Amino acid sequence: MSLTILEATLKQENEAENASDHSTNETNARSLFTYQTGMALITLGTMFKHVPPFNESIDKHTGDTLISIGKKLKGKN
């Protein structure tokens, strides 16, 4: 009887541990995605501000806005 209880307890502990690992992996993936999205927005905003074909046709404030949003996303990591 006690062997069955021990097996059940171990099974519950393993399931809780696996759920915790899964949650941590999701958080890490989300953080990485947020960071990379922020970097992409900063790059795009910088291109819109400083690269001649873009800065002639796109408003400077668009680039500033993208850079601002990108810095906020990048900083949440």
> Nearest CA to 19 among 27, 57, 68, 63?
27
pLDDT digits (tens, 9 = 90+) for 9-22: 667 766 766 665 56
Is the pLDDT assigned to residue 6 strictly greater than 90? no
Count of other CB atoms within 10 angstroms of residue 53: 8
Q: What is the dihedral of CA 51, 32, 76, 26, to 10 degrees?
A: 150
What pTM, to 2 d.p., does this model score?
Answer: 0.64
pLDDT band, very low/low/confident/very high, at 1 (cuts 50, 70, 90): very low
What is the identity of the amino acid at 66?
Answer: L
**Residue 55 buriedness (CB in 10 A; 0-12 / 13-18 / 19+):** middle
Residue listed under structure tokens 């690269």: 51
pLDDT digits (tens, 9 = 90+) for 27-45: 788 899 999 999 999 999 9
